[in-house]
Each structure stands twice: as C-alpha cells, then as structure tokens.
C-alpha cells in the first residue's frame, strides 16, 4: 500500500477506506483474520486514528467485525452469511445490468468482449488471481454503465464481503469449473437493450459461480 501524505484523520480515512475495501474485494484478507491497527497504520504511513475510523466504517457495512475499539477481524465463513450475500447480489446486480442495457457504448461492449476472452484464457491457464481480477473488471464495467453511483457503492460493499470467501475457496486444490457461459448472453443483451435478458444473464452468472462455493462452505460446517 503506498504511503499517504500526512493530514487530518477525516482527510486520510477516505483513501484508506477505498484501499482496504479494494483489498477485501481482491482477497488480500481471509475469513477470521485479525486486522491489527498498528500494522495497518504502518502500511498506510498514518496514525491509528484514521485506520480505526476506516475499520469502524467497514464494520457498519458488515465487511469487518469489531469486538472492541482495538479488536477488528474479517468475518468467519458461514452458510448463513454467504446466502445473504448472494441473495443481495442477485437483486442489486440484476438491477444494475437492467439499467445498463441499451446504454453501453460500442467501445465498452468491445472492452467487455475482450475482458471475457482474457478471463477464459486466465482460467484455462490456471491463473486464478488474474481470472478473478478480470471477472471483477467485467462486472464493474457493466455496473458503472448503470449510472447509479449509490447502487455501485452498495455492490462494491457486497464484493468486499465476497473477497475473503473467494480467497479461501480458491486456495484449495479442488478443481474449479472453467468458463462463464452467461457472459456472452449478457453482452448481447446489453448490446440490444434487452433489460430482462441482461438481468437474467447476470443472475445466472452469479448463481453459476456461487453454487460450488456454497457447497464447499456447507461441507466445511459439517466437518
């Protein structure tokens, strides 16, 4: 994490929040991991105060848990938590795809096709971290085209909850199904302005990606 310029905690907590949220989304942290104030302050080149302020904001968004003013951690894996995240993703991301349909430029449609092709190549090559990053770029390019900043922020919060789950899931040696069959349907629906088709395709893509993760978490809970 780059060192930030010294300032007051209110000025600093904004960039720190965005950076930590991005790290959660990217799977830098794992479920149950403690988030130590002093270590994070050192990484950001700031004091404990803006870091604590950031973590409390993430607690309010359910991306982080707090047991005291100095004790923060990433939530543990649980089927109940994962099912809620998926249900909210289906609703919000379906709405974003619906709003984006018909309004995506030719340039962005080409970008989506390129991101999808690179995503498939990364999966086939076994580059899971690269595949995750490309899939994220694919999805968020669509959500940005919905032109609903509050909706985009809410979706980002849900992806911050997903990141640690994906980290532990993809760290296993289990085979992971390759491909995103609903991406191409989604791109075509966006191209022709098919709002229903776009919402259905994004929902199918989420369900396809989350099904095996749900089974994995349920299996862990029985052992």
> What pLDDT sits at residue 80?
96
> What pLDDT sits at residue 161?
97
Report the predicted TM-score, pTM, of the whole model to 2 decimal places: 0.89
How far, in Å, CA of 205 to CA of 209, rounded? 6
- Average pLDDT score over residue span 66-77: 92
- Average pLDDT score over residue span 82-110: 97
| Residue 65: strand, helix, or coil | strand
- Average pLDDT score over residue span 148-176: 87
66-73 contacts, C-beta under 8 A, 24 or more apart: 70/37, 71/34, 72/34, 72/35, 72/37, 73/32, 73/33, 73/34, 73/35
pLDDT at residue 7 is higher than 50: no
> What pLDDT sits at residue 32?
95
Judged by average pLDDT, the poorest of 138-152, 159-173, 179-193, 196-210 is: 159-173
> What pLDDT sits at residue 44?
85
Residue-averaged pLDDT of the chain: 90
- Whose structure tokens read 């052992």? 223
- Whose structure tokens read 């299996």? 219
Phi-psi region of 147 (alpha: psi -120 to 50; beta: other; left: phi over 0): left
> What pLDDT sits at residue 175?
55
Residue 7 per-residue DSSP state? -
What does each C-alpha distance from 175 to 6, 69, 169, 196 come to in angstroms? 46, 40, 11, 33
Which secondary structure element, helix H or strand E, spans residue 26, and what is its range?
helix 9-26
- Summarised one tens digit per residue, pLDDT across range 169-196 is 877 755 556 678 899 999 999 999 999 9
- Summarised one tens digit per residue, pLDDT across range 97-119 is 999 999 999 999 999 999 999 99
């Amino acid at each position: 994490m780059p060192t930030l310029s010294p300032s007051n905690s209110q000025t600093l907590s904004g960039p720190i929040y965005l950076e930590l949220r991005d790290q959660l989304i990217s799977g830098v942290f794992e479920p149950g991991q403690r988030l130590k104030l002093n270590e994070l302050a050192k990484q950001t080149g700031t004091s404990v105060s803006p870091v604590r302020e950031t973590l409390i904001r993430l607690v309010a968004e359910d991306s982080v848990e707090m047991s005291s003013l100095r004790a923060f951690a990433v939530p543990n894996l649980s089927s109940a938590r994962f099912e809620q995240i998926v249900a909210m993703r289906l609703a919000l991301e379906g709405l974003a795809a619906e709003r984006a349909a018909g309004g995506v430029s030719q340039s962005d449609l080409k970008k989506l096709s390129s991101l999808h092709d690179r995503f498939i190549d990364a999966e086939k090559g076994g580059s899971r971290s690269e595949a995750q990053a490309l899939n994220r770029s694919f999805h968020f390019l669509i959500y940005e085209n919905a032109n609903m900043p509050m909706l985009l922020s809410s979706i980002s919060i849900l992806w911050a909850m997903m990141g640690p789950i994906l980290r532990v899931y993809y760290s296993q040696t289990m085979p992971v199904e390759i491909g995103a069959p609903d991406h191409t349907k989604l791109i075509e629906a966006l191209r022709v302005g098919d709002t229903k088709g776009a919402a259905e395709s994004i929902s199918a893509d989420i369900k396809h990606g989350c099904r095996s993760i749900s089974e994995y978490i349920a299996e862990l809970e029985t052992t």
